[in-house]
Amino acid sequence: MFPGAGDSEFAFELLVCRWAELAWHPADGDRPVVVARQLGTRERRWDTVVLEVAPEVFATRRAFGERTLDSDLLRVVRGAPAEWAWYRDALDDPGFPWRYIREAIHRAAALDLIEKRSGPNGRIEFRRVREYPDWVERVIAIENKPDLDASAARALADQLRHDVESGLADEVWVATGTTGERVSPALLEDMPVEVGVLEFDFADGVDADAGEVVWHPTSLRADGDARTRLLLAERAYGKGWRSLRETMRPDCRHFEVRREGRALVPHCAAKGRVPTAAECKGGCAEFSPEPPQWRTNGWPIAGGPGKGVRELLERRRERERDRVDSE
């Protein structure tokens, strides 16, 4: 990988996510996508999630806001009728107390996702503002293993078999670093044949040509639980892969953002490398809050460099979403 990456799987994961924004699909040509990282279910967490979307339908989803719609909000928004109706008539019995649905209706109305009013006898009535779209075309799961040796590949096989059989993903891939060998070691191990393999050379950072397909995946029957699949997509939409702006400490004086090809990655000046998400916390021995004068003495971004990094990453996320809309 690029100098300063260290042996960080975290750095590799960020680069794979940025590459997917630039070059997905690696075998079938450009497709508009939303990319996220570290998402899954109780049984399995995926390193990278790629949602293939239709631009015109994706624009309708964006009209519901830029954040995740949780399970209760989804139940209300998707079930909202075209005409005013009492919520208990419009929605199926949720299987848990109705008060949680009432709370979700109030939240949805406050976010302008639905309209609500007090009907006869004070009953809560609601109706849709717009219809929630079927905006996800395909869900892709990618497992990132920059150093995929034989033992790691064997250990990964059962997890990948679960991914193939879960019915939640339309394709499953393994992403690994290039080995320089003619045949990838990953192909020699007992991994499911349905799983595709991508090799990456990130020596110069990220560009669209950094990845190479060395084994093509099989298109899977995504016939698992449809609600779980939609909830996963909603979380991917709201979280994205630049969530490090919230989970790391850009307000530390040692925190930097560096360009590696067409990617921006975090860099710790104290460690001299990309920090992991677990390291870059307030409890880090090297953590030092940015001096107050950085926020006042001519710094070009109000609030100091830490806030500036967060805003930069947020702008990048919105730029990618705008690009999907325009395709």
Per-residue pLDDT, 116: 98
Q: Are 274 and 11 in contact (CB under 8 A)?
A: yes
Per-residue pLDDT, 1: 67
Residue 302: how many other CB atoms lie within 10 Å = 10
Domain assignment of residue 307, yes or no: no
Alpha carbon 150 to its chain centroid, in Å, reads 29
What is the C-alpha to C-alpha distance for residues 189 and 178, in angstroms, rounded to an integer?
A: 16
- Sorted by sequence, the CB contacts under 8 Å of residue 119 that are 6+ apart come out as 84, 86, 125
201 in the same domain as 93? no
What is the C-alpha to C-alpha distance for residues 41 and 39, in angstroms, rounded to an integer?
A: 7
208's tokens: 């669209």
Per-residue pLDDT, 183: 64
pLDDT tens readout for residues 64-114: 999 999 999 999 999 999 999 999 999 999 999 999 999 999 999 999 999
In the structure, what pLDDT confidence band is assigned to residue 302 with cuts at 50, 70 and 90? low
pLDDT tops 70 at residue 304: no
91's tokens: 């929605």
Per-residue pLDDT, 325: 82
Cα torsion through 34, 21, 202, 259, rounded to 10: -100
Per-residue pLDDT, 33: 97
Domain assignment of residue 7, yes or no: no
231 in the same domain as 139? yes
188 in the same domain as 111? no
207 in the same domain as 139? yes
82 in the same domain as 54? no
Last residue of a domain, one of 239, 268, 295: 239
51 in the same domain as 99? no
Domain assignment of residue 256, yes or no: no
Last residue of a domain, one of 110, 128, 146: 128
Last residue of a domain, one of 215, 239, 263: 239
The upper half-sphere exposure of residue 305, i.e. CA atoms within 13 Å in the direction of its Cβ, equals 15
Domain assignment of residue 100, yes or no: yes
Alpha carbon 168 to its chain centroid, in Å, reads 15
98 in the same domain as 142? no
Element (H, E) at 263: strand 263-268
Domain assignment of residue 276, yes or no: no
Per-residue pLDDT, 298: 53
pLDDT tens readout for residues 305-321: 777 888 888 899 899 99
In the structure, what pLDDT confidence band is assigned to residue 294 with cuts at 50, 70 and 90? low
Cα torsion through 105, 109, 115, 116, rounded to 10: 50
> What pTM, to 2 d.p., does this model score?
0.92
Domain assignment of residue 297, yes or no: no
Q: Are 155 and 191 in contact (CB under 8 A)?
A: no
119 in the same domain as 91? yes
168 in the same domain as 53? yes
pLDDT tops 70 at residue 284: yes
Domain assignment of residue 103, yes or no: yes
What is the C-alpha to C-alpha distance for residues 243 and 125, in angstroms, rounded to an integer?
A: 36
pLDDT tops 80 at residue 164: yes
Return the percentage of the chain with pLDDT > 90, whole number.
Answer: 72
170 in the same domain as 190? yes
pLDDT tens readout for residues 233-258: 999 999 999 988 788 998 899 999 99
212 in the same domain as 189? yes
In the structure, what pLDDT confidence band is assigned to residue 133 with cuts at 50, 70 and 90? very high
200 in the same domain as 73? no
Q: Which domain holds residue 223?
A: 32-59+134-239
Coil, strand or helix at 52: strand
Domain assignment of residue 23, yes or no: no
Number of domains the chain is built from: 2
What is the C-alpha to C-alpha distance for residues 17 and 214, in angstroms, rounded to an integer?
A: 19
